[in-house]
Amino acid sequence: MTRWLTEAVPRGRIAAFRTLVYLFVAADLVVFTPWVRTRVDVPGDLYQPLLLGRLLPLPTPTPALVGVIFWVLLVGSLLAATGRAPRLLGWTVFALYFEWMIVAMSYGKVDHDRFGLLVALAALPTAGRARHGDPTRTQAGGWALRVTQIAVICTYFLAAWAKFRFGGLDWATGSVLARAIIRRGTDLADLIAQVPHLLIVAQFGILAFELLSPLVFVLPERWRLAVVGFFYSFHLVTIATITISFAPHLVAMTSFLPLERVRPVSLLRRRRSPASLGQLGDHPLAAADDDLSAAPLAQS
């Protein structure tokens, strides 16, 4: 079990995952959850902190407190995305984003798509330093990715458990998706809803998918990546039909992917390097272009 939890991964994968996660935190503040700053405009007695907020305890949010959290977290996440001071900046970003989520979710609505991202933020500071493209393997980084993967799958499995706990089989046979389509459905959803019994079949399918999601850990890597691709396609359909994005969850789910293979900065550098330009100049088509560009000069 310990070997599985700490299965070594390339440091380049940790560096890529770290950059992606911290850049998303910065984007989350200004794109997905800027409304958190408006929470302080409501009376303080409406603030009902989550259990962890009561146990710590955390202060009732004020405009000054939320403003400081926003700006320090925004700057800190952008700095952390560079890979510098991974422990200091990592723990700082986790603590501030955790408080940001406490403020966001303490007014009556709790989103479960943040669980995997919060676990990733808590685990990344323990992974140590990592550079993009570094092939050397790290067990500490492997542990950080593994616990994030477990959190991602728990989000699915526990969602199914909650459906059975509060709705039983009536969740699958009821009008859950129909109500969602009425409230926030797209034109595509309206077309799907016209197919007899399709929404009921989809609800059973969602339950089966969530309950079977832990099987992803026992599959060979090739099939595991295919299943993760199915997870992403499920969320793509969700966005296209009822406009629910699960963006934080999708970012955390990249912990399953070989991110070290995606190096856009290196690709851009190779394309703009003198060597690549020289190779382009030696190409027959490039020579033909040179001849064509020189022709007007010869005529003049």
- Dump the DSSP string for 31-60: IISGGGGGGGGS-GGG----HHHHHTTPPP
Rounded to an integer, what distance in angstroms lies between the CA atom of residue 141 and that of residue 90?
A: 14
Q: Give the model's pLDDT for residue 238.
A: 95
| 263-291 pLDDT, tens digit each | 766 666 676 666 554 554 444 444 434 44
| 98-129 pLDDT, tens digit each | 999 999 998 888 888 999 999 999 999 999 99
Q: Give the model's pLDDT for residue 279.
A: 53
Place of tokens 């952390």: 80
Query: Could you tell me the two tokens for 45?
Result: 């007695």
Whole-structure pTM value: 0.86
Q: Give the model's pLDDT for residue 2.
A: 86
Q: Give the model's pLDDT for residue 291.
A: 40
The letter for the amino acid at 197 is H
Q: Give the model's pLDDT for residue 297.
A: 35
| 4-56 pLDDT, tens digit each | 999 999 999 999 999 999 999 999 999 999 999 887 777 777 888 888 888 88
| Domain residue ranges in the chain | 2-263
Q: Give the model's pLDDT for residue 167.
A: 86
Rounded to an integer, what distance in angstroms lies between the CA atom of residue 62 and that of residue 47?
A: 11
- Cα dihedral 180, 184, 187, 190, rounded to 10, equals 20
Rounded to an integer, what distance in angstroms lies between the CA atom of residue 116 and that of residue 109?
A: 18
DSSP 85-122: SHHHHHHHHHHHHHHHHHHHTSSS---GGGHHHHHHHH
Q: Give the model's pLDDT for residue 12.
A: 95
| 66-93 pLDDT, tens digit each | 999 999 999 999 999 999 999 999 999 9
Rounded to an integer, what distance in angstroms lies between the CA atom of residue 251 and that of residue 115?
A: 11
Residue 178 three-state SS: helix
Give 300's pLDDT tier (boundaries 50, 70, 90). very low
Give 59's pLDDT tier (boundaries 50, 70, 90). confident
Q: Which residues contact 286 (CB under 8 A, 6 or more apart)?
A: 280
Mean pLDDT of 237-252: 95
Quick one: what percent of the chain has pLDDT higher than 90? 70
Residue 158 pLDDT exceeds 50: yes
